[in-house]
Chains A and B, each alone.
Chain A
């Protein structure tokens, strides 16, 4: 969930009202936000770097507000205030308008060349005309781009935003791609020119930019935008040129978004311009820009598309569980920036979805907004009349019953991880990993998560090792799932429910573990009988001490092993005493 940090006093000034922390927290809760933290720059620095560093830092109160991941329109102070003001009916949602250049001139133009196709094929653009920045507005503008980059832009992989002082460059602009060695320019906040190749190694150590290098690093061609004089605007998605950078004094801003996902690029551009067109000479108007595709197609951006959905008051009432008139529902929706009107036809409501609400893609999204405006906690809670009969999963029922009786038999239940290292299920048990039928994880952060376990024994032995100080004997069991490769399944693997128990003491206690097998079989109503019941028979298994291992058969089918563990297994799990173990598949007993 993205967190937006805003200055409290600035927020209250914009809202035209002062709140106590509790009141504001309450408002957030109702609207679906969360006032996560109340802090200050000074607090943050002193927490992260110590009190000395915080000396002299600002102690202006900051609100850190958690915003739902799909509400890109709330990622800056401007959007938050607009959303809350409309919600409180203190403001009517603005209408965003795309306009032709004010001076009657040609719109700015961005020409995309063929070369971009392989690396980053899409681009959109727009112009904010005659903007008035203040320090706070400027900072918010930069911060919004960063928030969008982290969220909808998926860390710049899908979309990268570039903003430029239009008065220092001249169109038409060219969006192309070139070999990194052929690109040379002075990047933002650097004092000299670099080739793209040099930049990539320069930014390897940059705490912020190094996270984006992988996006184009291995591409033969890097995306690059030039103005008509060959000045570099940006090398997306990494860095802008220094020449074009915007400042507090910038009046006219050229905004471009390059992307691998066109829908996301359009949404991102809409967000930037709808949020900051507020500060244009004519508020909420955005100057259009043309984008020419390699095939000659010409598109005009930003789209700023309004869409109308028609739905019935009855639909909303039935889905939410309320009973409101169409008029009052239209009013609720309008408070969520979805300007709505009763159409006059029955209880139909016309809902206008603005470009800021890209999250509204279905009637159910509109229904939710009606419910939020109504107040989730004002909805009457009622019990559905759904009649059903409950059933337990037979495998889980069997497991529950056996667990109780194993504990009654003196064994204590362990709960161990389903993921472990290859070593745990192979080397340490004196087995070959290739023979384990183990499922392997491709991206483990540590060796603890290399494979899904193929048996429960390693987990129990590790539990013993962690509890060596406890009085002997230690008697543990676990009934849980292991995972085995199985080609007959759609995903190529299946779970297998197993029962494993260990006895750890000064003497091996094979008879104790054998007795437990007899007890389990008694509980499962399987008699000792070579053909119709169960029996054990000497077997060789590398995990067990030679001559001290038997295979367990039930109705002629092998279901597991029991025996005294091999001394090497004992020492590899950092244990010192003899140990006997049983491991059986319980699925045949369903």
Chain B
């Protein structure tokens, strides 16, 4: 805060004038720099309605440092002219003058002087006129006297180009008395203190108003990752629907559980080196339930359980190959096999965990992503039941408009792609995949004939990217994440109604 003395001088000055005054005039009157008065005005503004102000800006011309020098000592060309005696001056001597170079060429072009290159003793400069009129100096002196209005714009711009004049904008205040004008200052308190509370002095104090437009101070805290926040919500939805979490903490899987047990033939393109990460160490899995493996081999190579099979030479060497699981369905297979080894009870399972694909990477695909999977096993489940469960699941995400497209998947039949209507894009977009597990997968495990298993899956990344408006998956997953985005990301509630379809896609 500017010192009280100055503030009170300003207020007394203001008291005397009618209709207000300009802060520049105040500065002149009080003999202080204008910036000091600007500071004083700001301090008074903070006190409430003592004064009222209006910001003004005015432009005027000012001499530059060089301009001031010329106004005092004359232009460079005049100084050169005046330095030359009647008998002339050697050019090299003239050039040694501070104004030499600029002044020489200007004086030459004004035809005030001439150069005799052939003069004995070297080139010599002579005056060509008796007297000169230093108009540049005259003009600058006018500006200095505050009479710049007498100059034409063209002349001012010419001098500006020569860096002798500059146009400056001055911001000043037009100050008038405020509604609670007074010439004495009462100091305002910024904050309530324990002492004020103890003494009761707060009752007499004036408190500085808060600026409610400003942002608060960010709390000092850690943040959960947005993808994990969405994961938590999906997990919650499954738990609300009575689904039990599967143990998916096994990234390394054998081809047997990842493919063969799912009735995915050994020549299937997904089993290609181009699509799947295979493991060189430990390269092979070494323990399989023997009876079950024989049944899997048979159903692939010869058929059975009402199936024609694929009629090819099934090889254990292919089944043994270790890989990074390409889907969490490998875990579902293990769980269903385990379920088949005991007296059957209906189950609902889910998992959300990492899967790996040796694919071409782009803005929406990484080599690893999170798969969300739901599985229900019970007697007599129908395709209509699968649609019903999907409807409930997606309703919890705020998606109510669903439709289903026939699709192909080696281990489900029927297979359905799930589409939801995207209100923003005004079209149906795919939100997941689903199906009924094939009997060739379930019966060799030993599950009872009448048991159907329905399942669906989707990626965790896609709905999260839409929710947080992220276009490049690398900004969300992996070490290239933008931590500011993590700090700033909101919680994942059920999306509000008008945004529902958008947030899920």
B341 sits at the interface (CB 8 A): no
A343 sits at the interface (CB 8 A): no
Residues of B within 8 A of A319 (CB): 382-383, 436, 452
From known contacts A417-B479, A490-B286, infer whether A408 and B267 are also in contact, taking CB-CB under 8 Å: no
Residues of A within 8 A of B312 (CB): 261, 263-264
Report how far A365 CA is from B282 CA in the complex, Å.
Answer: 38
List residues of B (388-412) whose CB comes within 8 Å of A's CBs: 388-389, 391-392, 403-408, 410
Report how far A460 CA is from B308 CA in the complex, Å.
Answer: 51
Residues of B within 8 A of A494 (CB): 250, 252
Instruction: Please state if B406 and A466 are interface contacts (CB–CB under 8 Å).
Output: no
Which residue of chain A is the closest to B311 with respect to CB atoms?
A: A263
Candidates B283, B308, B310, B413; contact of A368 at CB < 8 Å: B413
Which residue of chain A is the closest to B325 with respect to CB atoms?
A: A491
Instruction: Please state if B251 and A154 are interface contacts (CB–CB under 8 Å).
Output: no
Stretch in B152-160, B163-171, B236-244 with 4+ CB within 8 Å of A: B236-244
Residues of A within 8 A of B384 (CB): 320-322, 379-382
From known contacts A415-B227, A490-B254, infer whether A466 and B481 are also in contact, taking CB-CB under 8 Å: yes
Candidates A391, A395, A449; contact of B367 at CB < 8 Å: A449
Instruction: Please state if A386 and B479 are interface contacts (CB–CB under 8 Å).
Output: no
Which residue of chain A is the closest to B334 with respect to CB atoms?
A: A490
List residues of B (230-264) whose CB comes within 8 Å of A's CBs: 232, 235, 238-239, 241-247, 249-254
Stretch in B4-12, B17-25, B111-119, B273-281 with 4+ CB within 8 Å of A: B273-281
Residues of A within 8 A of B356 (CB): 418-419
Report how far A264 CA is from B277 CA in the complex, Å.
Answer: 26
Residues of B within 8 A of A186 (CB): none
A447 sits at the interface (CB 8 A): no
Candidates B224, B278, B480, B481; contact of A443 at CB < 8 Å: B278
Nearest CB of A to B279, in Å: 6
Residues of B within 8 A of A137 (CB): none
Nearest CB of B to A52, in Å: 28
Contact bitstring A443-466, B, C-beta under 8 A = 1, else 0 = 111001100100000011011011
Stretch in B83-91, B215-223, B492-500 with 4+ CB within 8 Å of A: B215-223
B213 sits at the interface (CB 8 A): no
Stretch in A12-20, A65-73, A189-197, A231-239 with 4+ CB within 8 Å of B: A65-73
B439 sits at the interface (CB 8 A): yes
Most buried by A among B252, B254, B387, B480: B252
Most buried by B among A319, A362, A416: A362
Residues of A within 8 A of B479 (CB): 414, 416-417, 459-460, 462-463, 465-466
A493 sits at the interface (CB 8 A): yes
Report how far A322 CA is from B383 CA in the complex, Å.
Answer: 9
Instruction: Please state if A383 and B250 are interface contacts (CB–CB under 8 Å).
Output: no
B463 sits at the interface (CB 8 A): no
Stretch in B97-105, B179-187, B482-490 with 4+ CB within 8 Å of A: B482-490
Residues of A within 8 A of B403 (CB): 376-377
B416 sits at the interface (CB 8 A): yes
From known contacts A32-B406, A362-B438, A392-B239, infer whether A408 and B277 are also in contact, taking CB-CB under 8 Å: no
Nearest CB of B to A583, in Å: 16
List residues of B (296-314) whose CB comes within 8 Å of A's CBs: 303, 305-312
Residues of B within 8 A of A414 (CB): 225, 479, 481
Nearest CB of B to A445, in Å: 6
Instruction: Please state if B405 and A29 are interface contacts (CB–CB under 8 Å).
Output: yes
From known contacts A388-B243, A440-B281, A441-B279, infer whether A466 and B480 are also in contact, taking CB-CB under 8 Å: yes
Report how far A470 CA is from B358 CA in the complex, Å.
Answer: 33
Report how far A465 CA is from B239 CA in the complex, Å.
Answer: 37
A507 sits at the interface (CB 8 A): no
B347 sits at the interface (CB 8 A): yes
B285 sits at the interface (CB 8 A): yes
Instruction: Please state if B223 and A154 are interface contacts (CB–CB under 8 Å).
Output: no
From known contacts A383-B392, A412-B487, infer whether A490 and B378 are also in contact, taking CB-CB under 8 Å: no
A413 sits at the interface (CB 8 A): yes
Residues of A within 8 A of B227 (CB): 415
Instruction: Please state if A407 and B221 are interface contacts (CB–CB under 8 Å).
Output: yes
Instruction: Please state if A418 and B283 are interface contacts (CB–CB under 8 Å).
Output: no
Contact bitstring A465-481, B, C-beta under 8 A = 1, else 0 = 11100100011010001
Residues of A within 8 A of B223 (CB): 407, 412-413
List residues of A (396-420) whose CB comes within 8 Å of B's CBs: 396, 400, 403-404, 406-419
Q: How large is the interface on A (under 10, 10 to 19, 20 to 34, 35 or more residues)?
A: 35 or more
Report how far A365 CA is from B307 CA in the complex, Å.
Answer: 10
Report how far A371 CA is from B211 CA in the complex, Å.
Answer: 66
B432 sits at the interface (CB 8 A): no
B465 sits at the interface (CB 8 A): no
Report how far A409 CA is from B224 CA in the complex, Å.
Answer: 11
Report how far A69 CA is from B242 CA in the complex, Å.
Answer: 35
Which residue of chain B is the closest to A463 with respect to CB atoms?
A: B479
B324 sits at the interface (CB 8 A): yes
Residues of B within 8 A of A70 (CB): 408, 410
Which residue of chain B is the closest to A31 with respect to CB atoms?
A: B406
Instruction: Please state if A391 and B224 are interface contacts (CB–CB under 8 Å).
Output: no
Residues of B within 8 A of A377 (CB): 403-404
B121 sits at the interface (CB 8 A): no
Instruction: Please state if B406 and A320 are interface contacts (CB–CB under 8 Å).
Output: no
Report how far A504 CA is from B206 CA in the complex, Å.
Answer: 45
Report how far A371 CA is from B383 CA in the complex, Å.
Answer: 9
A318 sits at the interface (CB 8 A): yes
A483 sits at the interface (CB 8 A): yes
Instruction: Please state if B273 and A364 are interface contacts (CB–CB under 8 Å).
Output: no
Report how far A261 CA is from B312 CA in the complex, Å.
Answer: 7
Instruction: Please state if B222 and A390 are interface contacts (CB–CB under 8 Å).
Output: no
Instruction: Please state if A71 and B408 are interface contacts (CB–CB under 8 Å).
Output: yes
Residues of A within 8 A of B408 (CB): 1, 32, 68-71
A102 sits at the interface (CB 8 A): no
Residues of B within 8 A of A487 (CB): 282
Contact bitstring A23-57, B, C-beta under 8 A = 1, else 0 = 00000010110100000000000000000000000
Candidates B273, B310, B483; contact of A470 at CB < 8 Å: B483
Nearest CB of B to A450, in Å: 10
Report how far A391 CA is from B247 CA in the complex, Å.
Answer: 11
From known contacts A263-B312, A466-B479, infer whether A413 and B486 are also in contact, taking CB-CB under 8 Å: yes
Report how far A466 CA is from B366 CA in the complex, Å.
Answer: 18
Instruction: Please state if A362 and B407 are interface contacts (CB–CB under 8 Å).
Output: no
Residues of B within 8 A of A415 (CB): 225, 227-228, 477-478, 481
Most buried by B among A71, A386, A393: A386
Instruction: Please state if A417 and B478 are interface contacts (CB–CB under 8 Å).
Output: yes
B269 sits at the interface (CB 8 A): yes
Instruction: Please state if B478 and A361 are interface contacts (CB–CB under 8 Å).
Output: no
Residues of A within 8 A of B252 (CB): 439, 452, 483, 491-494
B348 sits at the interface (CB 8 A): yes
Nearest CB of B to A320, in Å: 5
A363 sits at the interface (CB 8 A): yes
A325 sits at the interface (CB 8 A): no
From known contacts A321-B385, A322-B384, A481-B251, infer whether A388 and B368 are also in contact, taking CB-CB under 8 Å: no
Report how far A29 CA is from B384 CA in the complex, Å.
Answer: 18
Which residue of chain B is the closest to A373 with respect to CB atoms?
A: B406
Contact bitstring B20-45, A, C-beta under 8 A = 1, else 0 = 00000000000000000000000000
From known contacts A361-B309, A390-B239, A495-B250, infer whether A474 and B267 are also in contact, taking CB-CB under 8 Å: no
List residues of A (131-176) whose CB comes within 8 Å of B's CBs: 154, 157-158
Residues of B within 8 A of A320 (CB): 382-384
B381 sits at the interface (CB 8 A): yes
Nearest CB of B to A512, in Å: 12
Instruction: Please state if A400 and B249 are interface contacts (CB–CB under 8 Å).
Output: no
Closest 3 CB pairs of A and B: A321-B384, A321-B382, A32-B406
Can you name 5 A-B pairs with beta carbons within 8 Å?
Answer: A71-B408, A361-B309, A408-B221, A418-B356, A441-B279
Beyond A372-B406, A460-B479, list 18 extra A-B contacts (CB 8 Å).
A70-B408, A365-B413, A367-B413, A376-B383, A377-B403, A383-B385, A388-B242, A390-B241, A390-B245, A407-B223, A414-B479, A419-B367, A439-B282, A441-B324, A449-B277, A470-B483, A490-B287, A497-B249
